[in-house]
Structure 1
Amino acid sequence: MSQRCPHCHYARQPDDDAPDWQCPACTKAYAKAAAVPPPDGTHNARPRHSMGHQGGVGRWLLVLLAFGAALWFGRTLFPATAAPDGPAATGQPEVRLYATAWCGYCRLTRDFFAANGIQYVEHDIEQSSEALKEHRKLGGNGVPLIVVGDDVVKGWNEAALRRLLAPWLKG
């Protein structure tokens, strides 16, 4: 006598591995009024032969593919944040150069900063009235006027610059 599932109408076969109270195809318990209820914790047991049909490797590959696509396309949405450039990133104090385009000593100062990897902000006192006001406030009578942190260096003075910027000099 073969038994049919009331849910999926599967005809039970003699070689099915599911318990007698459970349908091997849909894994639902049969409704039997006179039968003993299934043991606790076993009402969702699945037969061994249907495991591959419920996901298995295919489902994991799909999840892995979706995760890989999210990483690949998400990298353009979240660009890597580079370390900030500038004096704050290296611990170097702020360096400001008040200069003119024609001054030879100003050119020496620029070359010194470039050769030693010193980051600075240049203000041309002939091009900016605001820069000229700042230059005069700092007591400048000529150029270059260099401000390193809170220290002011008037004129070209390599020894003073080396002393103030020693930890940050490359050369």
Structure 2
Amino acid sequence: MAEIVLYGADWCGDCRRAKAWLREHGVAFTEVDVEHDDAARDKAIEIAGGRKNIPVVVLPDGKVLVEPTNTQLAEAIEV
């Protein structure tokens, strides 16, 4: 199974919350820091359809969640 990719930044409260939710539910993910990587930031904006909100969560099926709530994460990820 492909892994979930989370584009975010350490200072972002929503990013910390989403990462904590994923960890609590044993969901493997790769974190991409958009604060220190301009190419990653540009990629996250592109994936999010031009939105600059983070986190941007890319699911294995290609679905993209931008700034998802815990409920949205739970609905999108079968845990």
Pairwise same-fold verdict (TM > 0.5) = yes
Residue in structure 1 matched with residue 56 of structure 2 by the alignment: 145
Quote how far apart the aligned CAs of 1:122 are: 0.6
Residue in structure 2 matched with residue 101 of structure 1 by the alignment: 10
Q: 2:67 aligns with which of 139, 142, 155?
A: 155
Give the number of the structure with larger relative contact order, counting CA–CA contacts within 8 Å between residues 6 or more apart: 2
Aligned equivalents of 1:122, 1:141: Cα separation in 2: 17
Structure 1: any 5+ residue segments left out of the alignment? 1-87
Q: Which one has the bigger strand percentage? A: 2
Whether contact under 8 Å (1:99, 1:143) holds in the other structure is: yes
What SS class does the counterpart of residue 71 from structure 2 fall into? helix
Amino acid corresponding to residue 20 of structure 2 in structure 1? D
1:107-161 Cα shifts (integer Å, max 9, x gaps): 1011001100000011111111221121111123111111112111010322221
Residue in structure 2 matched with residue 85 of structure 1 by the alignment: none
TM-score of the pair, normalised by structure 1: 0.42
Whether contact under 8 Å (1:100, 1:126) holds in the other structure is: yes
Whether contact under 8 Å (1:106, 1:156) holds in the other structure is: no
2:33 is aligned with 1:124: yes
Give the length in aligned residue pairs: 76
Measured on the aligned residues, the alpha-carbon RMSD in Å equals 1.3
Structure 2: any 5+ residue segments left out of the alignment? none
User: What pairs up with 1:14-163 in 2 under 5 angstroms?
Assistant: 88=1, 93-138=2-47, 139=49, 140-149=51-60, 150-163=62-75
TM-score of the pair, normalised by structure 2: 0.85
Identity percentage of aligned residues: 24
